[in-house]
Structure 1
Amino acid sequence: MIEVYTDAASKGNPGKSGIGIVIKAGKADVEYSFPIGTYSNHEAEFHAVIKALELCKVQYPKEILSFRTDSKIVVDTVEKNYTKNNNFLPLLERIQELSGHFPLFFIKWIPEKQNQRADRLAKEGIHK
Protein backbone atom coordinates (compact mmCIF):
# COMPACT_ATOMS: atom_id res chain seq x y z
CA MET A 1 0.00 0.00 0.00
CA ILE A 2 1.20 3.48 -0.90
CA GLU A 3 0.57 6.35 1.55
CA VAL A 4 0.14 9.76 -0.02
CA TYR A 5 -0.02 13.07 1.84
CA THR A 6 -1.27 16.15 -0.01
CA ASP A 7 -1.65 19.81 0.84
CA ALA A 8 -2.12 23.14 -0.89
CA ALA A 9 -1.37 26.75 -0.10
CA SER A 10 -2.63 29.97 -1.68
CA LYS A 11 -1.29 33.48 -1.30
CA GLY A 12 -4.65 35.22 -1.33
CA ASN A 13 -7.99 33.53 -1.87
CA PRO A 14 -7.97 33.17 -4.79
CA GLY A 15 -4.29 33.71 -5.27
CA LYS A 16 -1.01 32.26 -6.43
CA SER A 17 -1.11 28.62 -5.32
CA GLY A 18 1.24 25.73 -4.74
CA ILE A 19 0.79 22.08 -3.88
CA GLY A 20 2.86 19.64 -1.85
CA ILE A 21 2.85 15.87 -2.08
CA VAL A 22 4.65 13.24 0.00
CA ILE A 23 4.52 9.67 -1.29
CA LYS A 24 5.57 6.89 1.09
CA ALA A 25 6.33 3.71 -0.81
CA GLY A 26 8.04 1.08 1.29
CA LYS A 27 11.09 2.64 2.92
CA ALA A 28 11.29 5.48 0.40
CA ASP A 29 9.63 8.87 0.83
CA VAL A 30 9.41 11.05 -2.25
CA GLU A 31 8.52 14.74 -1.97
CA TYR A 32 7.03 16.97 -4.67
CA SER A 33 6.35 20.69 -4.77
CA PHE A 34 4.58 22.39 -7.69
CA PRO A 35 3.26 25.86 -8.52
CA ILE A 36 -0.23 25.53 -10.02
CA GLY A 37 -1.36 29.06 -10.87
CA THR A 38 -4.18 31.08 -9.33
CA TYR A 39 -6.86 29.23 -7.40
CA SER A 40 -8.90 29.41 -4.23
CA ASN A 41 -7.39 27.43 -1.39
CA HIS A 42 -10.10 24.76 -1.67
CA GLU A 43 -9.61 24.37 -5.43
CA ALA A 44 -5.86 24.05 -4.89
CA GLU A 45 -6.48 21.23 -2.38
CA PHE A 46 -8.36 19.29 -5.08
CA HIS A 47 -5.52 19.93 -7.54
CA ALA A 48 -3.03 18.48 -5.03
CA VAL A 49 -4.99 15.20 -4.92
CA ILE A 50 -5.29 15.15 -8.72
CA LYS A 51 -1.55 15.70 -9.24
CA ALA A 52 -0.72 13.00 -6.68
CA LEU A 53 -3.05 10.55 -8.45
CA GLU A 54 -1.39 11.37 -11.78
CA LEU A 55 2.04 10.69 -10.26
CA CYS A 56 0.85 7.42 -8.72
CA LYS A 57 -0.74 6.32 -12.00
CA VAL A 58 2.71 6.45 -13.63
CA GLN A 59 4.84 5.23 -10.71
CA TYR A 60 2.54 2.82 -8.82
CA PRO A 61 -0.19 1.75 -11.27
CA LYS A 62 -1.20 -1.50 -9.54
CA GLU A 63 -0.94 -0.36 -5.92
CA ILE A 64 -3.56 0.30 -3.26
CA LEU A 65 -3.54 4.02 -2.44
CA SER A 66 -4.22 5.56 0.96
CA PHE A 67 -4.43 9.36 0.70
CA ARG A 68 -4.30 11.72 3.67
CA THR A 69 -5.16 15.42 3.57
CA ASP A 70 -6.06 18.11 6.06
CA SER A 71 -8.80 19.40 3.74
CA LYS A 72 -12.18 18.32 5.12
CA ILE A 73 -13.95 19.67 2.05
CA VAL A 74 -11.92 17.43 -0.28
CA VAL A 75 -12.44 14.35 1.89
CA ASP A 76 -16.17 14.98 2.28
CA THR A 77 -16.65 15.65 -1.43
CA VAL A 78 -14.74 12.54 -2.52
CA GLU A 79 -16.34 10.27 0.10
CA LYS A 80 -19.87 11.47 -0.71
CA ASN A 81 -19.05 11.51 -4.43
CA TYR A 82 -21.06 14.73 -4.64
CA THR A 83 -20.70 18.51 -4.66
CA LYS A 84 -23.08 21.41 -5.25
CA ASN A 85 -20.11 23.67 -6.06
CA ASN A 86 -19.75 24.05 -9.83
CA ASN A 87 -16.05 24.86 -9.47
CA PHE A 88 -15.41 21.59 -7.63
CA LEU A 89 -17.43 19.34 -9.94
CA PRO A 90 -14.83 18.92 -12.74
CA LEU A 91 -12.17 18.39 -10.06
CA LEU A 92 -14.24 15.67 -8.39
CA GLU A 93 -14.85 14.03 -11.77
CA ARG A 94 -11.10 14.02 -12.49
CA ILE A 95 -10.39 12.43 -9.08
CA GLN A 96 -13.04 9.77 -9.79
CA GLU A 97 -11.55 9.03 -13.20
CA LEU A 98 -7.96 8.78 -11.94
CA SER A 99 -8.77 6.82 -8.78
CA GLY A 100 -10.59 4.26 -10.91
CA HIS A 101 -7.21 3.10 -12.26
CA PHE A 102 -6.24 1.61 -8.89
CA PRO A 103 -7.47 -1.55 -7.19
CA LEU A 104 -8.41 0.47 -4.08
CA PHE A 105 -8.33 4.17 -3.26
CA PHE A 106 -8.91 5.57 0.21
CA ILE A 107 -8.89 9.20 1.32
CA LYS A 108 -8.89 10.26 4.94
CA TRP A 109 -8.79 13.54 6.83
CA ILE A 110 -5.83 14.18 9.14
CA PRO A 111 -5.07 17.18 11.38
CA GLU A 112 -2.72 19.84 10.00
CA LYS A 113 -0.15 18.79 12.59
CA GLN A 114 0.19 15.40 10.85
CA ASN A 115 0.57 17.00 7.42
CA GLN A 116 3.47 19.37 8.03
CA ARG A 117 5.76 18.02 5.31
CA ALA A 118 3.14 18.39 2.58
CA ASP A 119 2.28 21.85 3.97
CA ARG A 120 5.92 22.97 3.73
CA LEU A 121 6.13 21.68 0.16
CA ALA A 122 2.89 23.45 -0.81
CA LYS A 123 4.24 26.75 0.53
CA GLU A 124 7.46 26.19 -1.42
CA GLY A 125 5.35 25.63 -4.55
CA ILE A 126 3.91 29.14 -4.31
CA HIS A 127 7.42 30.59 -4.67
CA LYS A 128 8.58 28.46 -7.63
Structure 2
Amino acid sequence: MIEVYTDGASSGNPGTSGAGIYIKASGKIYEYSIPLAKMSNHEAEFHAVMKALEICRESFLGQILSFRSDSKLVVDVIEKDFTKNQTFLPLLAKIREDASHFPYFFIKWIPEKSNKHADRLARKAIRMQWDGT
Protein backbone atom coordinates (compact mmCIF):
# COMPACT_ATOMS: atom_id res chain seq x y z
CA MET A 1 0.00 0.00 0.00
CA ILE A 2 1.22 3.47 -0.92
CA GLU A 3 0.71 6.22 1.70
CA VAL A 4 0.23 9.64 0.14
CA TYR A 5 0.05 12.87 2.13
CA THR A 6 -1.16 15.94 0.24
CA ASP A 7 -1.47 19.61 1.07
CA GLY A 8 -2.33 22.69 -0.91
CA ALA A 9 -1.41 26.21 0.14
CA SER A 10 -2.11 29.71 -1.15
CA SER A 11 -0.52 33.00 -0.27
CA GLY A 12 -3.62 35.12 -0.45
CA ASN A 13 -7.05 33.77 -1.22
CA PRO A 14 -6.84 33.54 -4.16
CA GLY A 15 -3.10 33.86 -4.51
CA THR A 16 0.14 32.21 -5.49
CA SER A 17 -0.38 28.52 -4.74
CA GLY A 18 1.53 25.30 -4.36
CA ALA A 19 0.99 21.60 -3.82
CA GLY A 20 2.98 19.48 -1.42
CA ILE A 21 3.06 15.70 -1.83
CA TYR A 22 4.80 13.32 0.54
CA ILE A 23 4.73 9.63 -0.41
CA LYS A 24 5.79 6.58 1.59
CA ALA A 25 6.23 3.50 -0.59
CA SER A 26 8.20 0.30 -0.01
CA GLY A 27 10.31 1.87 2.72
CA LYS A 28 11.20 4.89 0.58
CA ILE A 29 10.15 8.52 0.84
CA TYR A 30 9.27 10.68 -2.17
CA GLU A 31 8.76 14.44 -1.85
CA TYR A 32 7.28 16.85 -4.39
CA SER A 33 6.80 20.63 -4.32
CA ILE A 34 4.66 21.64 -7.28
CA PRO A 35 3.95 25.29 -8.12
CA LEU A 36 0.32 25.93 -9.04
CA ALA A 37 -1.49 28.81 -10.73
CA LYS A 38 -3.14 31.59 -8.75
CA MET A 39 -6.10 29.98 -6.97
CA SER A 40 -7.92 29.65 -3.64
CA ASN A 41 -6.59 27.52 -0.83
CA HIS A 42 -9.43 25.01 -1.31
CA GLU A 43 -8.66 24.71 -5.02
CA ALA A 44 -4.97 24.17 -4.19
CA GLU A 45 -5.97 21.31 -1.88
CA PHE A 46 -7.88 19.61 -4.72
CA HIS A 47 -5.01 20.19 -7.14
CA ALA A 48 -2.57 18.60 -4.67
CA VAL A 49 -4.67 15.41 -4.73
CA MET A 50 -4.83 15.51 -8.54
CA LYS A 51 -1.05 15.99 -8.86
CA ALA A 52 -0.45 13.14 -6.40
CA LEU A 53 -2.69 10.85 -8.45
CA GLU A 54 -0.71 11.77 -11.59
CA ILE A 55 2.54 10.88 -9.80
CA CYS A 56 1.06 7.59 -8.60
CA ARG A 57 -0.07 6.72 -12.15
CA GLU A 58 3.51 7.20 -13.34
CA SER A 59 5.24 5.41 -10.46
CA PHE A 60 2.80 3.15 -8.60
CA LEU A 61 0.21 1.93 -11.09
CA GLY A 62 -1.71 -1.09 -9.81
CA GLN A 63 -0.99 -0.31 -6.15
CA ILE A 64 -3.47 0.35 -3.37
CA LEU A 65 -3.47 4.07 -2.55
CA SER A 66 -4.14 5.47 0.90
CA PHE A 67 -4.33 9.27 0.71
CA ARG A 68 -4.32 11.62 3.69
CA SER A 69 -5.26 15.30 3.69
CA ASP A 70 -5.85 17.91 6.37
CA SER A 71 -8.60 19.48 4.24
CA LYS A 72 -11.96 18.33 5.58
CA LEU A 73 -13.65 19.90 2.56
CA VAL A 74 -11.61 17.88 0.04
CA VAL A 75 -11.93 14.63 1.98
CA ASP A 76 -15.69 15.07 2.39
CA VAL A 77 -16.26 15.91 -1.29
CA ILE A 78 -14.21 12.92 -2.46
CA GLU A 79 -15.70 10.48 0.05
CA LYS A 80 -19.29 11.56 -0.71
CA ASP A 81 -18.45 11.88 -4.43
CA PHE A 82 -20.61 15.00 -4.49
CA THR A 83 -20.40 18.78 -4.43
CA LYS A 84 -22.74 21.58 -5.46
CA ASN A 85 -19.80 23.96 -5.86
CA GLN A 86 -19.34 24.65 -9.58
CA THR A 87 -15.63 25.34 -9.13
CA PHE A 88 -15.02 21.98 -7.45
CA LEU A 89 -17.15 19.83 -9.81
CA PRO A 90 -14.53 19.47 -12.59
CA LEU A 91 -11.83 18.85 -9.96
CA LEU A 92 -13.89 16.06 -8.40
CA ALA A 93 -14.52 14.57 -11.86
CA LYS A 94 -10.77 14.54 -12.60
CA ILE A 95 -9.98 12.93 -9.23
CA ARG A 96 -12.69 10.31 -9.79
CA GLU A 97 -11.29 9.51 -13.26
CA ASP A 98 -7.67 9.32 -12.09
CA ALA A 99 -8.50 7.23 -9.02
CA SER A 100 -10.34 4.72 -11.22
CA HIS A 101 -6.98 3.49 -12.54
CA PHE A 102 -6.15 1.93 -9.17
CA PRO A 103 -7.63 -1.20 -7.57
CA TYR A 104 -8.36 0.73 -4.34
CA PHE A 105 -8.22 4.42 -3.52
CA PHE A 106 -8.85 5.61 0.01
CA ILE A 107 -8.70 9.13 1.43
CA LYS A 108 -8.98 10.15 5.03
CA TRP A 109 -8.77 13.36 6.98
CA ILE A 110 -5.83 13.92 9.32
CA PRO A 111 -5.11 16.88 11.60
CA GLU A 112 -2.71 19.57 10.36
CA LYS A 113 -0.07 18.53 12.89
CA SER A 114 0.06 15.09 11.22
CA ASN A 115 0.56 16.60 7.77
CA LYS A 116 3.65 18.76 8.39
CA HIS A 117 5.76 17.17 5.62
CA ALA A 118 3.20 17.92 2.90
CA ASP A 119 2.55 21.40 4.32
CA ARG A 120 6.29 22.23 4.21
CA LEU A 121 6.46 21.03 0.59
CA ALA A 122 3.39 23.09 -0.43
CA ARG A 123 4.87 26.25 1.11
CA LYS A 124 8.18 25.52 -0.62
CA ALA A 125 6.31 25.41 -3.97
CA ILE A 126 4.99 28.93 -3.29
CA ARG A 127 8.47 30.22 -2.35
CA MET A 128 9.88 28.69 -5.54
CA GLN A 129 7.58 30.96 -7.55
CA TRP A 130 8.57 34.05 -5.57
CA ASP A 131 12.27 33.26 -5.86
CA GLY A 132 12.02 32.35 -9.54
CA THR A 133 13.55 28.92 -8.92
TM-score (norm 2): 0.95
Match of 2:18 in 1: 18
CA distance in 2, matches of 1:108, 1:102: 17
Match of 1:37 in 2: 37
The 5 A counterparts of 1:1-128 are 1-128=1-128
Cα deviation per residue 1:79-124 (whole Å; 9 max; x = unaligned)?
Answer: 0000010000000000000000000000000000000000000000
Letter in 2 for 1:57: R
Identity %: 63
- Report how many residues are paired: 128
- Output the aligned Cα RMSD: 0.4
CA distance in 2, matches of 1:117, 1:60: 20
How much has 1:11 moved relative to structure 2?
0.4
CA distance in 2, matches of 1:113, 1:123: 15
Letter in 1 for 2:46: F
Letter in 2 for 1:21: I
Cα deviation per residue 1:20-66 (whole Å; 9 max; x = unaligned)?
Answer: 00010011010000110101000000000000000000100010000
Letter in 2 for 1:15: G
Structure 2, gaps ≥5 residues long:
129-133
CA distance in 1, matches of 2:111, 2:119: 11
After TM superposition, where is structure 1 displaced by more than 2 Å over at least 4 residues in a row?
Answer: none
CA distance in 2, matches of 1:8, 1:46: 7
